[in-house]
Structure 1
Amino acid sequence: MVDPTSELGEDVDEADAPECAACGEKIIQSPTHRVVTWVEDGRVASRHFCSPECKAEYDG
């Protein structure tokens, strides 16, 4: 898993890159990458989206 606090554009291997929760595309060095986090059962959970449009579609 990629460190969510890492610098934008950091070299990320495709095998370690998160997938968009809406379209399934790997997210690599994307300036439109969005992460939604929440606490569930005392643990941090997250979903990654490749763009605001994919996030809106997922939230739809």
Structure 2
Amino acid sequence: MSRAGNYKTFVALLENQVVGSVHKDFQRHRVGTELLRYTENYAKDSGISSIILCTGMKRTDAHAF
């Protein structure tokens, strides 16, 4: 998939450490919200019409987000 060049991955850094919502210590600190906002703006500016957010089937708290 990555060879097609159609996929991007964005992460949030805090003091050079990746702190996206996958790091439990940083959940509920608006990191995920800011990442999603950045991704939405990037997509809009780049003419991208859809975004896929993968959370895993058992992560119901992430589904609520």
TM superposition score category, shorter chain reference = under 0.3
TM-score for the superposition, normalised by structure 1: 0.26
TM-score for the superposition, normalised by structure 2: 0.25
Q: Which has the larger radius of gyration?
A: 2
Greater helix content? 2
The structure with higher relative contact order (CA 8 Å, sep 6+) is: 1
